[in-house]
Amino acid sequence: METDISLNSSEQPLWVPTEQDCQSANVTQYMHWLAQEQGLHFADREALWHWSVTNIEDFWASLWSYFQIISSQPYTSVLTSHQMPGAHWFPGARLNYAEQVFRNGSSAQPALLFRSERQALQTVTWDELEQRVAAIAESLRSLGVQAGDRVVAYLPNIPEAVIAFLACASLGAVWSSCSPDFGTNSVVDRFKQIEPKVLFAVDGYQYNGRSFERYATIRELQQALPTLQHTILIPYLHRESAESGLLENVLLWSVLEQTPAKLCFEQVPFEHPLWVLYSSGTTGLPKAIVQGHGGILLEHLKNLTLDLDLKAGDRFFWFTTTGWMMWNLLVGGLLLNATILLYDGSPAYPDFNTLWRFAQDSQMAVFGTSASYITSCMKAGVEPARHFNLEHLRAVGSTGSPLPPEGFHWLYEHVKRDLWVASVSGGTDVCSAFVTGSILLPVYAGELQARSLGAAVQSFDEQGQVLIDEVGELVITEPLPSMPLFFWNDPQMERYKESYFALYPGVWRHGDWIRITPHGSAIISGRSDSTINRSGIRMGSSEIYRVVEGLPEVVDSLIIGVELSHGGYYMPLFVVLRAGVNLDEALVLKIRQSLRSSISPHHVPDEIIQINEVPRTLSGKKLEVPIKKLFLGMPIDKAVSLDALSNPDSLQAFQSVARRVAHLRQI
């Protein structure tokens, strides 16, 4: 086996839960319920996790009872088989995701709070939400939308997006959404696959202080989606509906919202499609990932309640767009009677204080964001604790990429000392987290506290053997209810099997490097398909980014490793520097010395190259694998789908370097 080099987290915890934290925790109440109702007793959270993954039928059946799932027909069994793929959950049950949302709506707290770059804080009550969802649902029904029909949305993170989704779910229609920062081709690549009947769209949006109209894009979508029968326009950039005259064959949202209606819920099977999410599509057509009503319902109730400790009445925020799975998880907060907080716009406009100001003004309890946002705030010198009253804030969630130890320290030093930092990792594929936070456990810098309940997460070596305290492939050895039902247009499930089960038959391989510590926490080292393997030493890119981007001169970075024909290895590091900083010999030496002393000599790159920006997907992920393919000689149009990038022009610098070093592959 290859040697693994990885960083150790701090030995001292940054935060330890109080006795009150543990006693009032949702998971503690669940364990009390298990003791009273089923005679099950667990010494600690690790013991509970072990039971949840070795008795998975009992665990998920207990959640059905504990959360009092409403179903018009009972299930006949919990799980048909443990085989993956091929496991089917709760056959016989009929229910509706949206019905679970509205069972607990309270007049004591608002359902939604919304703010944007242009919009002051806006409140949507539960009564208003139900009325507006009922009106849109009835309007869709009158347009011929039935259970199983696809309804798509080209919308920002606004209340209308939540309303439209819940209306679709209530009918049993299948929802799918893209953010309006996606270009026409990117949207068509996604929506055309699923043959939608109805499109919700906005006329435009504002980001970073600039307005972007979308009339032309809507017209192009109408022409490119042959199954589309109706377009519903939400005047968002131009609130006056007269602007809709620039489009043909559209219905106005404001008119449909006046439809008198009573909200009803179509009863559908547990595995009836709820929505379609998409992979990034950087190297081909995005995978259209289908997830079901019941699986998402149980997973989100479990994840938000037992893992993230969200409570009724909490004000719950995650910075996201409708094109990222975190939007879908955020909406799941409504299942708990939490108030979900929506923000549309740039998190850095007019500066990085924007979201912290929103946290203060909304009395936010849980602040979810990306690791890159936290590190950006750190680099920008933001001091939320100094400028804002964050007395209601008790937790910060981080995902999207590994949060480096420095990010943890910054949160405790500059946001709040008494703060639970929950770094989590999962994926669009299950619309949840595999490795998560736990209010019962201490927080260590750089670590994810625990494996999610019900998620049989292990670290595997190349032969499929379990590793402890060593870096290996993140795998799931037992099925989860929110795993994809199927990929759209993949009738033989060939692409599905290739995506998750090709390396270890019958075991889900997620594509991340993970180290599970002896006490059950985890450290994610980045994507396993972008791993650097130099002289038999396997390195995750995230540990290199942690060191390089921790330097004050460096804003962003990207590293790849390229195998050469003679058995050699070429490892260039690309850096984006602060304004006014140049890559001189002194800075090159500083970067090299930092990597050598902080990690190892093996992590020192062969070359350091200054670039203007790191290429990223529309969801903000660094483009490591396609850049490596480019350096291996693959044409750019085969290596990456330009429409899947937020900054395709950034590739020019890499093409130039790839051509310059092409001779190395022949040496």
DSSP string, 540-569: -HHHHHHHHTTSTTEEEEEE--EE-TTS-E
Could you tell me the residue range of the domain that residue 92 belongs to? 3-104+293-526
pLDDT digits (tens, 9 = 90+) for 619-644: 788 998 889 888 888 888 878 888 88
Residues 475 and 559 in one domain: no
222 and 129 both lie in a single domain: yes
| CATH number of the domain that residue 96 is part of | 3.40.50.12780
d(CA 398, CA 421): 8
Q: State whether 559 and 644 are in the same domain.
A: yes
Cis peptide before 648 (omega within 30 of 0): no
Query: Cβ neighbours of residue 254 under 8 Å, at least 6 residues apart?
Result: 235, 241
Residue 410: inside a domain: yes
Same domain, 537 and 520: no
Tally of structural domains, the chain: 3
What are phi and psi for residue 631, nearest 5 degrees?
Answer: -75, -20
> Is residue 280 one of the residues assigned to a domain?
no
Give the Cα separation of 622 and 645 in Å (integer).
10
Ranges in the chain, pLDDT < 70: 1-10, 240-245, 282-283, 530-531, 535-538, 565-567, 663-667
Domain boundary at 526, 558, 584, which? 526
Structure confidence at residue 563 (pLDDT): 75
User: Does residue 542 share a domain with residue 521?
Assistant: no
Q: Do 172 and 206 have their domain in common?
A: yes
Strands 250-252 and 230-234: parallel
Please indicate, yes or no, if residue 284 is contained in any of the structural domains: no
Does the residue 288 lie in any domain? no
How far is it, in rounded angstroms, from Cα 153 to Cα 115?
20
Of the three residues 484, 501, 526, the one that is the final residue of a domain is 526
Does 297 reside within a domain? yes
Phi, psi of 419 (to 5 degrees): -145, 130
CB-CB contact of 630 with 636 (8 Å): yes
Task: Note the pLDDT tens digit of each residue in 504-541.
Answer: 999 999 988 899 998 899 998 777 776 677 755 667 78
Phi, psi of 480 (to 5 degrees): -120, 145
How far apart CA 91 and CA 269 sit, in angstroms, is 8
Instruction: Report in angstroms the alpha-carbon separations of 614 from 483, 607, 623, 628, 645.
Output: 31, 16, 8, 13, 11
Same domain, 349 and 430: yes
- The reported pLDDT for the residue numbered 566 is 58
**pLDDT value for 284:** 73
Q: Are residues 501 and 568 in the same domain?
A: no
- The partner residues of 522 in beta bridges, in order of sequence, read 448, 516
pTM of the model: 0.87
Residue 164, burial from CB neighbour count under 10 angstroms (0-12, 13-18, 19+): buried
Where a domain ends, among 475, 505, 526? 526
CB-based contacts of 239, cutoff 8 Å, min separation 6: none
CATH of the domain at 141: 3.40.50.980
| 132 is a domain residue | yes
Q: How far apart are CA 405 and CA 423, in angstroms?
A: 11
The confidence score (pLDDT) of residue 536 equals 59
Nearest to 438 by CA among 13, 146, 21: 21
Residue 147: inside a domain: yes
- Whether 98 and 184 map to the same domain: the answer is no
In a domain, 307, yes or no: yes
Tokens of 370: 């990306």
Residue 234, strand partner residues: 202
Instruction: Tell me, yes or no, whether 488 and 630 share the same domain.
Output: no
Look up the CATH number of the domain holding residue 592: 3.30.300.30
Q: Are residues 478 and 547 in the same domain?
A: no
350 and 474 in a single domain? The answer is yes
Closest to 399 in 3D by CA, of 373, 438, 430, 425: 425
